[in-house]
Amino acid sequence: MAILFFAACGRQGEDLFSDTLQKRTGEYDLYHSGDINCLHVSYFRRMWETERCFHTSNLRKSYGFHLVAQGADPLPDVPDSKGFYTLRIVKNKERVAFWIEDLKIFDWCDSGSETGAVLGSGKIGFRQMSPLIAEYRNLMVTQVK
């Protein structure tokens, strides 16, 4: 599984790298139920049998483990992979949209009520679950106009 975290900061608005936040050591629950807020999209989910037979991408909002949007994952399994694929995330106020190779996977608007306040600025980061080795290139972060 590959995960892209974004809008990540402490639950009280702290910088993600603040010494006041609990040290994150790689356990997944520290990212969704620790002392940070973030959005994260998981894709190339192939760990469990149910993920291998029906590929989806999930958008979760934390604190908590709130599944807020889901869509089909068009990424092929490794033997059929053809190099790099383009991923695009748009986070604009309450809206989050995700594309793989110009195919819209989901488009979600946060009401700011069921799962906590709408998340704003913060850090981004990538995480892969072993044994996946994911390679990225040409990362661009731009302001929405």
% of the chain surpassing 90 pLDDT: 74
143 in a domain, yes or no? no
Reported as a single tens digit per residue, the pLDDT across 125-145 is 999 988 888 899 999 999 988
Chain mean pLDDT for the chain: 93
Cβ density class 28-55: b for 16+ within 10 Å, e for less: eeebbebebbbbbbbbbbbeeeebeeeb
10 in a domain, yes or no? yes
pLDDT at 34 > cutoff 90: no
Cβ density class 119-142: b for 16+ within 10 Å, e for less: beebebeebeeeeeeeeeeeeeee
Bridge partners, residue 126, by sequence: 4
Q: Is 25 within 8 Å of 31 (Cβ atoms)?
A: no
Closest by CA position to 58, among listed 68, 46, 50, 48: 68
The CATH number covering residue 116 comes to 2.60.120.200
Containing structural domain, residue 76:
2-128
Confidence of residue 25 (pLDDT cuts 50, 70, 90): confident
133 in a domain, yes or no? no
Reported as a single tens digit per residue, the pLDDT across 89-109 is 999 999 999 999 999 999 999
110 in a domain, yes or no? yes
Q: Cα-atom radius of gyration of the chain, to the nearest Å? A: 15
140 in a domain, yes or no? no
How many structural domains comprise the chain?
A: 1
